[in-house]
Amino acid sequence: MRLREVYNVKKIILSLIISVISCSTVNASTEKPPSYEDMYPEWGYTSINEALSEVEDAFNKELRLPSRVPPIIFTHYFGKFDEPRRSFHAQYVNDRTPANHYKIDVRAAEDGIDFHERQVVDTYKLKNGATANYISLSQHHIGFHALVFNKDEWQYILSVDKRVAATVTPEVLVEIANSIENG
Please tell me the predicted confidence (pLDDT) of residue 110: 93
Instruction: Write down the pTM of the prediction.
Output: 0.80
Residue ranges of the domains in the chain? 1-31, 36-178
Please tell me the predicted confidence (pLDDT) of residue 166: 93
Write out the chain in H/E/C secondary structure: CHHHHHHHHHHHHHHHHHHHHHHHHHHHHHCCCCCHHHHHHHCCCECHHHHHHHHHHHHCCCCCCCCCCCCCCCCEEEEEEECCCCEEEEEEECCCCCCCCEEEEEEEHHHCCCCCHHHEEEEEECCCCCEEEEEEEEECCEEEEEEEEEECCEEEEEEEEHHHCCCCCHHHHHHHHHCCCCC
Please tell me the predicted confidence (pLDDT) of residue 137: 83
Please tell me the predicted confidence (pLDDT) of residue 141: 62
Please tell me the predicted confidence (pLDDT) of residue 10: 44
Instruction: Walk along the chain (183 residues) in steps of 10 and give the mean pLDDT of each run.
Output: 44 42 46 85 93 96 96 97 92 95 96 89 95 85 89 96 95 98 76
